[in-house]
Every structure is written in C-alpha cells, then in structure tokens.
C-alpha cells in the first residue's frame, strides 16, 4: 500500500479514483486526517484537474483557488529529505506542453531545493517529456513525467464483467450478431461526440459537403455548447492556413447556424456523457467517424474515451484526431480494421493533410458499402467480434492495469522507498 495525502481539492483526484476501479482495494491508502506524519513515507497528490490551475496567478489579482506554491512547508521538507514524492495529477486531461507553465514549475522546484525526480507530472499526453527536453534540455530532468488515462481506464472498467453495467448488453454474443446484421443497418456511418472542437466542426462540415448527413447518425449541438470548443474564428483561421480545406467554407457557414442534431435520449451533457452508450446507434450504422478531443501535429499524443468506446463496441472506426492514435488501441490489446481502413494517417503529422486522408477513406468506405453491404460487413466482422470480447471479458481492463497502471504505481512505490 502507498500512503498518500492530497492537496488542492476537496477530493483526492482522478488518479486516486481510478485506482479504486476493477480492484478490491486501492493501492493508495489515505493517511489519517489527510495529514502527514513524522515517520511516514508517502505520496502527496496535487489535484490539478484543470491545466489553468498550474499557472501562477498575477500578484495584483486576488487568488481564489489554492495553488501548488501554497504547499505546506512540512511537505516540502519531506520532499527534500526523500520521504515524499509530489504528484501533480492531471490524468483527466492531456494538454500540450506549455513553456510558461513549466518554467514556473521548474523555478518553484529549484527555489525550494526539491531534488530532481521527486516531483511527478501525471497526465495523458505522452509527448510532454520530449517537448520539455527540447525546451530546456537537462533542466527537464527536475520532473519525472508519467502517463495515465483516467477516461480510458473508466471505459475499460465500465465494459468489464466486474462492473456489471451490461454494456453493450446482457448478451454480448447477441450484440455482436446484431452489429453485423445487414437488416438492422439504416445509416452509413455514426459520428458522435458533441463538443464542437475543431476536428468535430470540420468533420460535420465535410459530411454536409458530401451530402452524407441525411444518411448518417450525427450528433452536433451547434457551436454554443456546455463544454467550450473551438471558436468560429479559430475554425476559419485553420481553414485559411490550410487552403486544401477551402472547399469546406460554404458548409461551415451552413453548420454555423444549423439546428441541433441529437441522436440519443440522454439529458446529460459534457463529461456526464462519458459512460452513456446507446448500443442501438452502433447497430444501425456500419462504421464510426470518431472526432477526438485533439487535432494536433504530434504535440499531443493520447486518445480519450471517444476512440476507446468505438473499439469496445466493435465498431470500425475512422479517426479525426492526433497522429499515431490507433497504436494506443492495439497496445491495449485490441485488433484493428487496418485491412479495410486506411491507416496511413498514423504517420501523417500535418493535421489538414491527415483530415483529407480520412475524408478520402470515408468516401471509399461509403462507396464499398453501397456496392456490396454484405461483403463489407463480412470484411470487418472478425475484428469486430474479437474487440467486443476483449472489452466485455475484462481483458481490456486487465491489460490497462498491467501495462499502464501498475507501472505508475510501482514507480511511485520505488520513489518513496528510495
């Protein structure tokens, strides 16, 4: 067991919560009263939750929220003496490296004489460490970078038999049969994920341009959504910087004022929808076009629950997101539909070029389905069945624990024992 305390929030954070899933007990043990003791070796979790909380407020502004620079002197002393590891937990997000934010953190570590590697940055983005090295060289070694995907773990848990949520149904075998039953298909593709981030807006515009919205199952709430997405100016600036996307302008103008498209009966919005899955929309469509949270040039290296859901549901998925994203799913033990879908996007760094490849493949899959629906379904059915079983059998959850979670926990245990 790892003794721990936390600061910065009324709860211990997403990482601590995730460790209670799919296990009888968490490997973390809260010290009595959430207080350090004179003899305990422990982890102090700084609950970040929002990247903005890492930024030092201006001196002329009244600071309302607790900031890591307010950390107890006794905890800093324990970190200096090697009895404590300070863990910055942002496992619920995966932002790109921000030079100003990390410079403040490096300065704070040095000003407080905290030894190198006694502070751990835990987030989803695997590209941060290299970005830090490119920015400040050896100074980046002040921090140990580690990675954890809270929402991926949550989905793995939700599908596992231990959770007993019956996703995608009480009889996964019957669901697999329904998913590959042509008689149930009413739409060509499924495009979920409501937040109007850049990849989402561009994708819905492309579906409109190619006149596919009426033949698809699409959710899109408009640009004014409960979760902030890309601004209209950001979308148009991206198109201006990438002339290959100029063809989307008229469709972008249309979707800027289009009515809300809603495909399920859930009242929840934003993160409350993470574990809400309507199996019927998968049964009624042939494949998914997943619009991920990010659309980077490689500065962000992660996936979220969005792509993870499609694989767990056995739904062949095209991805508008970051490069090298499909490898996450195969690392987690899933098979990919790479014999059917074009995965050259994995190696394409340029976002606009990657988008164009996905759209070309989308049109190719639509054409193949229209030509021979049975043959297309047969071409994806083996991987579909495998992936559903991988999720609902609990193998996905076990894989995530053994390949990601245990590495993080073991690293913390070694650090506080050394």
Mean pLDDT of 167-175: 81
Place of tokens 């070309």: 360
Mean pLDDT of 31-49: 95
Cα gap 273→300, rounded to integer Å: 23
Closest CA to 307 of 285, 292, 287: 292
pLDDT of residue 350: 97
Mean pLDDT of 262-281: 75
Place of tokens 């490849």: 357
Mean pLDDT of 331-339: 98
Which carries the bigger pLDDT value, residue 24 or residue 159?
159
Judge whether residue 58 has pLDDT over 70: no
SS3 155: helix
| Model confidence band, residue 60 (pLDDT cutoffs 50, 70, 90) | very low
Q: Which helix (H) or strand (E) holds 374?
A: helix 373-392
Which tokens hold the place of 328?
Answer: 């996450």
Q: By percentage, how much of the chain surpasses pLDDT 90?
A: 79
Cα gap 92→47, rounded to integer Å: 10
pLDDT of residue 247: 97
Please give the sequence-ordered ranges of beta strands (E in DSSP) within 192-331, or none if there are none.
217-218, 285-291, 317-320
Place of tokens 């640009």: 223
Full-model pTM: 0.94
Mean pLDDT of 249-260: 89
Judge whether residue 274 has pLDDT over 90: no
Among 20-34, 171-185, 290-304, which stretch is predicted with the lowest mean pLDDT? 20-34
Mean pLDDT score of the chain: 92
At residue 19's C-alpha, the angle toward residues 306 and 106, to 5°, is 85
Q: Which DSSP letter does residue 210 get?
A: T
pLDDT of residue 276: 81
Cα gap 311→330, rounded to integer Å: 10
User: What are the C-alpha distances in Å from 15 to residues 1, 152, 153, 320?
Assistant: 15, 12, 10, 27
pLDDT of residue 49: 87
Among 7-16, 25-34, 37-46, 50-59, which stretch is predicted with the lowest mean pLDDT? 50-59
Q: DSSP readout, 6-50?
A: EESSSS--HHHHHTTTTSSS-SEEEPGGG---SS--EEEEEE--S
For domain 163-393, give the fold: Rossmann fold (3.40.50)
User: What are the C-alpha distances in Å from 245 to residues 237, 382, 407?
Assistant: 11, 35, 42
Cβ atoms < 10 Å from Cβ of 324: 18
Cβ–Cβ < 8 Å for 290, 311: no
Judge whether residue 226 has pLDDT over 50: no
pLDDT of residue 63: 56
Cα gap 354→193, rounded to integer Å: 19
Place of tokens 């942002």: 90
pLDDT of residue 96: 96
Q: Using one digit for the tens of pLDDT, what is the confidence trace for 98-136?
A: 999 999 999 999 999 999 999 999 999 999 999 999 999
Which tokens hold the place of 184?
Answer: 């149930």
Domain ranges of the chain: 2-151+401-417, 163-393
Judge whether residue 24 has pLDDT over 80: no
């Amino acid at each position: 067991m790892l003794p721990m305390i936390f600061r910065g929030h009324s709860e211990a954070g997403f990482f601590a919560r995730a460790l209670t899933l799919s296990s009888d007990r968490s490997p973390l043990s809260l010290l009595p009263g959430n207080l350090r003791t004179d003899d305990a070796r422990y982890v102090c979790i700084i609950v970040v939750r929002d990247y903005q909380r890492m930024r030092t407020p201006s001196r002329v502004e009244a600071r309302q929220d607790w900031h890591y620079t307010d950390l107890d002197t006794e905890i800093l002393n324990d970190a200096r003496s090697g009895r404590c590891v300070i863990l910055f937990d942002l496992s619920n997000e995966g932002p790109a490296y921000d030079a100003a934010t990390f410079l403040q953190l490096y300065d704070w570590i040095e000003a407080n004489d905290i030894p190198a590697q006694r502070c751990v940055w835990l987030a989803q983005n695997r590209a941060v460490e290299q970005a830090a090295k490119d920015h400040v060289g050896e100074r980046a070694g002040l921090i140990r970078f580690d990675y954890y995907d809270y929402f991926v773990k949550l989905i793995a848990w939700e599908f596992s038999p231990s959770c007993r949520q019956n996703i995608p149904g009480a009889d996964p075998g019957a669901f697999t049969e329904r998913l590959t039953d042509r008689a149930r298909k009413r739409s060509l593709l499924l495009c979920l994920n409501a937040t109007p981030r850049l990849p989402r807006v561009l994708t819905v515009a492309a579906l409109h341009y190619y006149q596919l919205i009426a033949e698809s199952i699409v959710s899109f709430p408009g640009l004014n959504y409960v979760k902030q997405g890309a601004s209209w100016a950001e979308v148009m600036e991206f198109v201006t910087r990438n002339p290959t996307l100029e063809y989307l302008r008229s469709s972008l103008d249309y979707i800027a004022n289009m009515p809300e498209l809603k495909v399920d009966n859930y009242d929840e919005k934003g993160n409350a929808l993470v574990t809400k899955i309507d199996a019927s929309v998968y049964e009624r469509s042939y494949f998914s076009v997943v619009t991920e949270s990010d659309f980077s040039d490689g500065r962000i290296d992660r996936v979220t629950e969005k792509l993870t859901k499609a694989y767990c549901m056995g739904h062949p998925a095209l991805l508008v997101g970051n490069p090298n994203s499909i490898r996450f799913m195969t690392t987690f033990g899933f098979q990919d539909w790479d014999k059917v879908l074009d995965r050259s996007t994995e190696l394409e760094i340029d976002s606009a070029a990657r988008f164009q490849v996905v759209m070309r493949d989308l049109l190719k899959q639509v054409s193949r389905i229209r030509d021979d629906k049975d043959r297309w379904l047969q071409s994806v059915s083996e991987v579909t069945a495998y992936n559903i079983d991988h999720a609902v059998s609990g193998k996905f959850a076990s894989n995530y624990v053994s390949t990601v979670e245990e590495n993080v926990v073991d690293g913390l245990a070694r650090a506080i024992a050394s």
